[in-house]
Amino acid sequence: EAKLKPTKSVYFVGFAAEEPGLIGSKHFALALRGKEGQQLPEACSAPAPTSSFLQKQRTSADKHQAIVMDEVGWVSPKLRRRTVNLESKDWTHEVMDHLAESNLFHNGQELYVVHNNAPFGSDHMSFLDNGMKGVLVINGDDEAYPNYHKSTDTIENVNVEYAANITRMVFGGAVRAAGLQVPAHVA
């Protein structure tokens, strides 16, 4: 047993109502910021911080980061390599660096990572619009996906190996972003 603890809370959240206006992610981001009367459910609320005075000076936007996955299973035949796009503003480089480093560690050269710094339209925007670092992880060449929003968008279109590469990258990136605290008796 590793006995490692994250230094930050980690939420695994599924959002609904992306297409009609990012409704689910917008309310979650506002709740993280404590805006407009939004609150997280009690079960999702992190314990009060026990950190230094420097940590307490950080704003709620500084405390939260988001890794959003959308369309992460289809491999474009137009691309020579299995490619994943990290879509976000350049000022979120800390989160993208965690993902890129995790990808190299877990996948080697199997998954090629690119960056688009003109984000739009997915749940990461709710975080970015609230001053929080948010990164969308999406298929390379996602706009060419022929089954987008169609009844033919089925599990048969998912490349399991590609999806596993992305999962390893994202999980490792989330662990890095959460930080790890090693208990004194283990260190």
- Contact call for residues 61 and 131 (beta carbons, < 8 A): yes
Q: By three-state DSSP, how is residue 138 classified?
A: strand
pLDDT of 10 reads 82
Q: pLDDT-derived band of residue 185, with 50, 70 and 90 as boundaries?
A: low
Q: What is the pTM of this model?
A: 0.82
The one-character DSSP state at 45 is P
With both helix axes pointing from N to C terminus, report the angle between 93-107 and 160-178 in degrees, rounded to the nearest 10: 130
Examine the pLDDT at 96 and tell me if it is beyond 70: yes
Work out the average pLDDT over 163-167.
97
What is the tens place of the pLDDT at every residue in 109-145? 999 999 999 998 888 998 999 899 999 999 999 999 9
Identify the residue whose tokens are 């490692």.
4
Secondary structure (DSSP) of 132-185:
-EEEEEEETTGGG-TTTTSTT--GGG--HHHHHHHHHHHHHHHHHHH-EE--TT
